[in-house]
Structure 1
């Protein structure tokens, strides 16, 4: 029964090293005040060379294991960045092993930055369809700060990419219930953002390294912006509205929005379209963008700030290149 399924616990982890807006000014040539006021970023966490996506995912999950025996976890789903310790490598298996969750099977759910609302839906649906599953651990890591080429003017605007880990335990506790979800994919954006080399189209080689083809690149930034500006906020509003409606609510019932980190103008326009004041959202201006982790991190921060009350309607919403927009509503308490 859906009524028995809820978010039992959350966890987050950030590496110690911090890059400020001033540090980013030196890397990008963009003035510090523009980075803060336009891009909405005061600082972000950046890992060192020895700390990887799987490690940060594991560390985010460890606090949750103080509330549950690892042997009681039945499924582990990695929903984090596809940029992991190694290419073509299942980090979910490492996470299962390191956490001692010997009874859990583990797999990975990949949809870049849109994945947390989707992972909530998948976990809820699995618990509904299989009564033998008691607890599902959603866990993700991100080290995408390492994918930015500050010498590439086409893609360096993604300097808000940061590093960290996030986790959420979904079980049969009857509280903090994931409700309706909505997902939109517009595949016309499939070729706009990618790492050019390393896949089957362009194998890794001396030339691909020399030509810096192992970083994120944008084929035509202006063309993508013109097409994306027309649909981005409208699609955010559509998925939020549909997720809320499928949950038996209206937009005006939303108490808290948990979005991914975007530039400040987009964040403010989304709130305006949804009829929400800024205090009814979590804006990660001291953390940056961490692939699919942002709404999960926002959920944890909201709990720390005591911004959640019993009966609140919370919406996790995100979007990822490709392009997919996703939202899942949560009835808190």
Structure 2
């Protein structure tokens, strides 16, 4: 049995409320709460970075398992890390004392947690010498938000924090079932940080033009192309992952999605014929890149929401655009 046995999270202490976000973005507070679906979010300072938050999220897990028993560490978090062209997974292995683990990173922006679960399961299935895989992620993408740029308004919910999950062979807590992933690369050029890459290296001009923040090339055009397909693709990967797991939409007990605007969240629930009390909506956390479903899973465990036999669907999407879902079965009473 391959499944998640432990999760961990970390959030920096500073909280930014909807009222504060509204003031910075010059948007009414009720819009932030009701449309953006955001009551508050956590913001880090310049003393802590993506790797540090990933490390802190993993520490509670390593209180329950010998660090020397971890075989693999996979970083699945934000690509906005402490440095460019740098692997934070090696730092995390060192700082956590995972002396028997090798590390690598997978990055698919916000869609990556369901994908990381599939990768971890596939590795455990294919290699009998692997027993424990630690998934870790950090996010400091609130720092990439320019509240004066109306083109990037849909990303004003970006927040900071860390999340981790231990995937083990012989799990008695949960079982990782099927996954489904769908990519539509026609959106590859819509959302990006323009400055700092090889096309637009960092310069005085790139800083003056505020090119080092998240931006949307043409919001109206992206919305025109994305709105007709996005929820359909969410539904598709959920349905397909369930089918590959031997189940259907009727079997969903819990939906754990990324944080989106409230209208999209409610539309997805409606399409899946789920009530709001069967999903975990991160309105007190915001959007932390790929970390959202891992955080939602941790929140569900803390609240003791899951029951033996529950089918839990983690689902997310990342700009570019990729939609991904992975199904879990809860095994504990």
TM-score band, normalised by the shorter chain? over 0.9
Cα shift at 1:151 = 2.0
Gaps of 5+ in 2: none
Aligned to 2:151: 154
Gaps of 5+ in 1: none
Q: Return the match for 1:116 from 113, 118, 123.
A: 113
Aligned to 1:277: 275
Q: Return the match for 1:201 from 199, 202, 207.
A: 199
Q: 113-122 vs 151-160, which deviates more?
A: 151-160
Q: Aligned partners of 1:316, 1:213: CA distance in 2, in Å?
A: 33
Q: Answer whether contact 1:8 1:173 (CA < 8 A) is retained.
A: no
Cα shift at 1:174 = 3.3
Aligned to 1:41: 38
Q: Aligned partners of 2:115, 2:56: CA distance in 1, in Å?
A: 22
SS at match of 2:21: helix
Q: Return the match for 1:141 from 138, 143, 152.
A: 138
Q: Return the match for 1:326 from 318, 324, 327.
A: 324
1:179-226 CA-to-partner distances (Å, cap 9, x unmatched) read 100000000000000000111111111111111111111000011011
Q: What is the number of residues matched between the two proteins? A: 330
Whether 1:128 and 2:130 are equivalent positions in the alignment is no
Q: Aligned partners of 1:15, 1:295: CA distance in 2, in Å?
A: 18
SS at match of 2:260: coil
Aligned to 1:74: 71
Q: Residues 180-195 of structure 1: matches in 2 within 5 Å?
A: 180-195=178-193
Q: Answer whether contact 1:15 1:47 (CA < 8 A) is retained.
A: yes
Aligned to 1:257: 255
1:116-144 CA-to-partner distances (Å, cap 9, x unmatched) read 00000000000000000010000000000
Q: Aligned partners of 2:324, 2:7: CA distance in 1, in Å?
A: 20
Q: Aligned partners of 2:99, 2:5: CA distance in 1, in Å?
A: 20
RMSD: 0.6
Whether 1:317 and 2:325 are equivalent positions in the alignment is no
SS at match of 2:229: helix
Q: Aligned partners of 2:43, 2:212: CA distance in 1, in Å?
A: 19
Cα shift at 1:157 = 3.2
Whether 1:107 and 2:128 are equivalent positions in the alignment is no
Q: Aligned partners of 1:171, 1:270: CA distance in 2, in Å?
A: 31
Q: Aligned partners of 2:26, 2:286: CA distance in 1, in Å?
A: 18
Aligned to 1:95: 92
Q: Aligned partners of 1:267, 1:157: CA distance in 2, in Å?
A: 14
Q: Kindly report structure 1 stretches of 4+ aligned residues shifted beyond 4 Å.
A: none
Task: State the TM-score, normalizing by the size of structure 1.
Answer: 0.98
Q: Aligned partners of 1:174, 1:67: CA distance in 2, in Å?
A: 14
